[in-house]
Amino acid sequence: IGPNGSGKTTTFNLIAGTLPPSAGSVRFDGSEIAGLGAHRICRRGIARTFQIPRPFRKLSLRDNVALSAYFAQAGHISRGEAERRGAEALELVGLPAEAGATPHGLGAAALKKLELARALATRPTLLLADESLGGLDTVEMERAAEMLETIRTRLNITIVWVEHIMGVLMRVVDRVLVLDHGEKIFEGRPEAAAGDERVIEVYLGRGRR
């Protein structure tokens, strides 16, 4: 977590291969992945969502998700298998997808579900969820948090969840890392973060400028 501009999405970009590091290394499952490129990192088992979903508007919901499954395997699965994996992902996030239905007209919560389904269809072991609560109302936030917690348990995957909203998130995560202007200022249990002086300063607007 961290306020806007703290470096959360940049960290995801470094891990997911959309931004090359200027120094240091990025390691996953014991191997260096910096510089591999986003497509190869995806095939290593890392998937991500984006703050602003950008589905293929002219494709159906089913095809949007099936494409993710297909290209995550470099085309080494059949169309039928890709469609099956896509259907599983849509069911997992609770997004009904009638034949031919497209993203046109979907609300914020449904678009977030579609974005999540596209990531899950790649069969990741690590999911990077970038502001999955953004643009949702309070009830939708609660449901989204519960859904991610259920997905983590059912699929037995690791979820790294970026947010600047603390409330709902702190009730469902095991560990919190707090960034401020690119610097890690806290790492530990969520209940400890809520009482940490530096974290409180950042969220009350008294952090470094």
Interval 174-192: pLDDT, tens? 999 999 999 999 999 998 9
Confidence of residue 205 (pLDDT cuts 50, 70, 90): low
The DSSP line for 23-78 is SS--EETTEE-TTS-HHHHHHTTEEE--SS----TTS-HHHHHHHHHHHHTTT-S-
Interval 8-66: pLDDT, tens? 999 999 999 999 999 999 999 999 999 899 999 999 999 999 999 999 999 999 999 99
DSSP assignment letter at 202: H
Measure the CA–CA gap between 115 and 117, rounded to whole angstroms. Answer: 5
